[in-house]
Amino acid sequence: MEEILNEIEKNYSKITYLCLEHFKNKKLLSNNIKEFLLNYSNYDRYLNDMANIIYNQYESNIDEVYKEVCNYFNEEYDNKYLYEYRLKRVINQDPKVYLQLDEDIGKNALKKLEDRINLIYQSTYYKKNKEKINKDLFELVNELKLVQKALGR
């Protein structure tokens, strides 16, 4: 791990170095460091207590840190881990719930969900692996369209 940290410190942003050092200090890095560092959901899960530093002090975000780590390992940023993270954030949504909200709030919530789904559809990983995509995403999109129609969008 020290070798990776030294390389990151020399060649990448300060915030990426601090985030990886944070992982190390939390004793999250085990035998398969690369696997841990390429798993996008680990950034969301374990960097919450660093969010203020990441966003404010360094005017950065988790995506930028993740991109640099992927670059270090010569891995594609738009990968399986990022896809699975994004899918997990939308797949359990129930657009019908938005029908019970104030009209403007419901429309805004639907727009946010639609944007997250579009982000998945626009991803390189999705485009390369359409045949592997979970059918639940298609069901969610169909339900989203019905609710949008009911709300007059």
From 148, 86, 94, select the one nearest 118 (Cα to Cα).
86
Q: From residue 111, give the alpha-carbon distance in Å to each of 91, 115, 116, 148, 151.
A: 15, 6, 9, 9, 12
Alpha helices in 76-134 (DSSP H): 80-91, 103-122, 124-128
From 58, 55, 52, 138, select the one nearest 91 (Cα to Cα).
138
Weakest-pLDDT range from 23-32, 55-64, 133-142: 133-142
Task: Using a pLDDT cut of 90, give the percent of the chain over it.
Answer: 41
Place of tokens 């485009």: 127
Amino acid type, 90: V
Our CA angle for 27, 41, 115, nearest 5°, is 155
Q: Which two tokens stand for residue 70?
A: 């992927």
* pLDDT of 14 above 70: yes
- The whole-number average pLDDT for the span 89-112 is 83
| pLDDT at residue 99, as a whole number | 78
- Under 8 Å between Cβ of 20 and 8: yes
